[in-house]
Structure 1
Amino acid sequence: MSATTGSTTTKQTTIEADPEVPTITMTREFDAPPERVFQAWVDPELFVQWIGPRSIDTRIEHWDARTGGSWSYTAEREDLHETFFGSFHEVRSPERLVQTFTWGGEPDSVSLETLRFEPLEGGRTRIVGVSVVESMELRDLILSSGMEVGVNEGYEKLDELLARG
């Protein structure tokens, strides 16, 4: 299962599901060097500016972006209040971030996410994120949830943040 999302006027995000294992792989390029893109993932003041859809406000509850650290945040709008939490397994600037991810609505389901920040010519970066979940059913539920809206809008907001310098 594979999908490329985004309009022709924006950068493309590729979201792929391996037919053999419960993984989701997302790939996207950004017009900034790996150090800046990585920083946007680990600095809580930057992270809240871009994560998720435009209709959501994000509030950091706890953030300790170091190997062995942990994090939690709340995503809110008038009709929604969702919590997310996890642990930073490995924080290796500017090339790799490994963390667990749990949605508060399903606290027994934990995914393992590995992000690679690959340098490209011209001071650009490709991120490749692989999420491993506990079952094919859960993976398919995530994919059918509309998650691509939050991913695409979030990455568009990250583009805007990186363009501001």
Structure 2
Amino acid sequence: MTTPHATVAVTTPSDREIHIERVFGAPVDRVWAAHSEPDLLARWWGRGNRVDIEKFEFERGGHWRFVEHSDGETHGFEGRFREITPKERIVQTFEWDGMPGYVSIDTATFVDLGDGRTKIVTDSLFYTTEERDGMLQSGMADGLSASYAALDRLLAA
């Protein structure tokens, strides 16, 4: 199954995975900074809505928690960093308050395309097919597409 959302390619390569690819018109240094600096993360991560970075311990084992505010509601997300290889890879757990107890392992790889563009490849592994499908049905692809559009605006500034 492949679902294009703007320029985000979302596929399901196995019954427990979501695979996402997106190219950004900025060098890897700037795309990495937007993922590793809390003041920049807060400007794009929550679909461009106001995001409170409650915790951001950007190191192996570190805890992160973001709360997005939109339409009078709050949406919390959190996890732990498992691996950080600067400008190459971030592996973290991901949990959404809307599906408490359902944790995925997300691996984001930053690919320098060599022409001032960067591709981010993200693989999310879920414990069960039902958990993966629940995340897909939550509107995840649309939310990610909106967040990446906000990231495009930040990178263009």
After TM superposition, the score normalised by the length of structure 2 is 0.93
Q: How well do the aligned residues superpose, as a CA RMSD in angstroms? A: 1.3
Structure 2 unmatched ranges of 5 or more: none
Q: Which amino acid aligns with 2:34?
A: A
1:65 maps to what in 2? 58
Q: Does the alignment pair 1:3 with 2:15?
A: no
Aligned with 1:126 (options 93, 101, 119): 119
Structure 1 unmatched ranges of 5 or more: 7-11
Contact 1:13 1:27 in 2 (8 A): yes
1:100 maps to what in 2? 93
Q: Which amino acid aligns with 1:34?
A: V
Q: CA deviation at 1:53?
A: 2.4
Q: Deviations over 1:96-137 (max 9, x none)?
A: 000001112333211100000001031210000000111111
Q: CA deviation at 1:4?
A: 1.2
SS of 2:143's equivalent?
Answer: helix
1:24 maps to what in 2? 18
Distance 1:59 1:101 in 2: 17
Q: Which amino acid aligns with 2:8?
A: T
SS of 2:102's equivalent?
Answer: coil
Aligned with 1:142 (options 111, 135, 142): 135
How many pairs are equivalent?
157
Task: Give structure 1 regions of 4+ aligned residues with deviation exceeding 3 angstroms.
Answer: none
1:155 maps to what in 2? 148
